[in-house]
Amino acid sequence: MPSPESTPGRLRKSIVVSSLAAVAIYGGVRIGQLTDSRDAPKCAAVATSFDLEAVEELFTTRPKEDADYRDYGLHFYGNVQTLMDLSGYGPEPEDRPQFSRYLGSARELLNRYGVSVILKKPDDEYEGTTPTSTELQTIEAQSAVKELIEGLMRFPAEYIHLAGLKKVVLTSGIKPDAYAVTDHQHDTVVVNLSNGSGYWEGGQDIRHELFHLVDAKLCGPEGMKNDPEYEALNDGKDIYGSDKTKVIPFEEYFINRQEREQRMKEALRNYDKGTYCELEQQGIKEAKQVAAESWYSLTDAVEDKAEMGTNFYAGPYSYEIIEATKSPVYKNKFHLLMARIYHVAPNIVRYFAASRRISPMPKPAYDCDK
């Protein structure tokens, strides 16, 4: 199923590590008692040279005009009409469907993926509080459930099964918008109904948390925190620490590019080749510095991987970022994560590659090399 357009980048809230009795919320992931990542076992994910070569070939071969997921043995259960039925209502509670309708739609869809959706009960082990009837009728709660539906609709059932997702818990009163439970069975995502944005975001939070589960499945719950193979692709920079200011996340590059394009249009109107070419070269230089998806990616490797994984769906937007920036760091990290998935579920990656979108870059108005 072709996916809706993605909004590039996002500004996620910084999350303070909060120790709990036996677990901790760590950047949107609930993991076992926090340990120094250097003491954790290394990521156990496998990506052989064959896997990497296969991914390289898949993402350099021209995508298919109308890639059909059924040709790859995949299954999609999303229904765009469901989202349409839950959209277009006013800001007042009486102008919107009852929460039970949102919840019913979510349960109907996720049940087809083998995932249960539950409202947190007072005696549940998950953080947060049980949503009140008043909270359930807010636009924040309703948009959070709508985002849950829209986010999971982008994935084939096989990807959700790879992640091992079995349960979505709806709660309120926690700091993050959502978090993945990666300790023990690592099969649960907790969604905060009190933090819904109230506007369309394309299900970014659930896609982010889902990749945490994929990462835990492939690397191991502890190994996901200690991934030297992935970190080695940062071109020798400590982008999660002292070198954070030496790289640019794509969300900043995207904003800068929009501003730069406006200035280039103005220079073109004024026949100002010098300014036009200066801005073009500035953009090329900045693009090569793109090393991650968002500012939140620079928290640590765990969040860096999950932010990149946010765009791993039919027609992955990540590939458009590669096309736009030509960044070797971003491309190599994308290929490594895809190769790890390819090693265990090649048809998922084959479909992602075949269904990707290519947006041709506009040709420069001036030959700036002359």
pLDDT tens digits, one per residue of 98-118: 888 889 889 988 999 999 999
DSSP 191-233: EEGGG--SS---SHHHHHHHHHHHHHHHH-TTGGG--HHHHTT
* Neighbour-count burial of 310, counting CB atoms closer than 10 A to its CB (0-12 exposed, 13-18 middle, 19+ buried): buried
Residue 209 near residue 178 (C-beta atoms within 8 A)? yes
CA–CA distances in Å: residue 316 to residues 44, 189, 224, 299, 301: 25, 22, 22, 23, 20
Confidence class of residue 159 from pLDDT cuts 50, 70 and 90?
Answer: very high
> CA-to-CA distance for 124 and 129, rounded, in angstroms?
9
Confidence class of residue 29 from pLDDT cuts 50, 70 and 90?
Answer: low
How many beta carbons lie within 10 A of that of residue 241, not counting itself?
9
- pLDDT at position 14 is 28
**Is 9 a residue whose pLDDT tops 60?**
no
Report the relative pairing of strands 23-26 and 18-19 from DSSP bridges. antiparallel
Highest mean pLDDT among 13-22, 80-89, 146-155: 146-155
- pLDDT at position 39 is 64
CATH, range 18-258+277-354: 3.40.390
Taking alpha carbons only, the member of 9, 16, 15 closest to residue 248 is 9
Name the residue ranges covered by the structural domains of the chain. Answer: 18-258+277-354
> CA-to-CA distance for 228 and 79, rounded, in angstroms?
40
Confidence class of residue 184 from pLDDT cuts 50, 70 and 90?
Answer: low
The percent of residues in the chain predicted with pLDDT above 90, rounded, is 43
Return the minimum-mean-pLDDT range out of 1-10, 202-211, 225-234. Answer: 1-10
How many beta carbons lie within 10 A of that of residue 230, not counting itself?
24
Higher pLDDT, 346 or 89: 346
> CA-to-CA distance for 124 and 128, rounded, in angstroms?
10
Question: pLDDT tens for residues 106-155?
Answer: 998 899 999 999 998 877 788 888 999 888 888 888 888 888 988 888 89
* 310-320: average pLDDT: 74
- pLDDT at position 232 is 95
Structure-token match 């075949």, residue found: 354
Confidence class of residue 345 from pLDDT cuts 50, 70 and 90?
Answer: very high
- pLDDT at position 2 is 30
Q: pTM for the complete prediction?
A: 0.85
**Is 288 a residue whose pLDDT tops 60?**
yes
* 61-85: average pLDDT: 81
Confidence class of residue 329 from pLDDT cuts 50, 70 and 90?
Answer: very high
**Is 163 a residue whose pLDDT tops 90?**
yes
- pLDDT at position 237 is 92
How many beta carbons lie within 10 A of that of residue 342, not counting itself?
24
Contacts of 89 (CB under 8 A, 6+ apart): 95, 96, 97
**Is 90 a residue whose pLDDT tops 60?**
no
